[in-house]
C-alpha cells in the first residue's frame, strides 16, 4: 500500500528517530509517584511479553504507560488523530 508523504524519506526517518519510546514525561511522572509511595520497580523488561515500561516484581505487576494518543480521552486537548486515513484512526466505541 502506498501512502503519500509530504516529507522526503530522509526527513521522515529523522522525525521518527526523535520520537522517544522510553523516559517520556508521563512515564517519568508515574515512576516518580511510585517511588515516593515506596514501591521499587524495574524498567523496560525485555524478557516479558510486550516489554512493559515499569515492572513491580514483588507484586508481579507490569505497567504500560501510554499517552493521550492511545487513550483518546474525551476533552483532552493534547489528544489528536492523524489527518490521513481518518476512518482507520477513529475510535470504535
Domains of the chain with CATH codes? 21-89 (3.40.960.10)
The 10s digit of each residue's pLDDT in 3-21 is 667 888 888 888 888 877 7
Distance CA 62, CA 45 (A): 9
pLDDT (0 to 100) of residue 57: 96
Distance CA 79, CA 10 (A): 27
pLDDT (0 to 100) of residue 18: 81
Cell of 45: 523488561
Q: Are 62 and 52 in contact (CB under 8 A)?
A: yes
The 10s digit of each residue's pLDDT in 35-90 is 999 999 999 999 999 889 999 999 999 999 876 666 566 777 667 677 777 777 77
**H/E element holding 71?**
helix 68-71
pTM surpassing 0.75?
no
Amino acid at each position: 500500500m502506498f501512502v503519500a508523504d509530504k516529507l522526503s524519506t530522509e526527513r521522515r526517518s529523522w522525525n521518527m528517530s526523535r520520537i522517544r519510546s522510553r523516559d517520556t514525561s508521563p512515564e517519568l511522572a508515574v515512576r516518580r509517584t511510585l517511588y515516593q509511595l515506596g514501591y521499587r520497580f524495574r524498567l523496560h523488561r525485555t524478557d516479558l511479553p510486550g516489554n512493559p515500561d515499569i515492572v513491580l516484581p514483588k507484586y508481579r505487576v507490569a505497567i504500560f504507560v501510554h499517552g493521550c494518543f492511545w487513550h483518546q480521552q474525551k476533552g483532552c486537548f493534547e489528544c489528536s488523530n492523524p489527518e490521513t486515513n481518518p476512518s482507520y484512526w477513529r475510535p470504535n466505541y
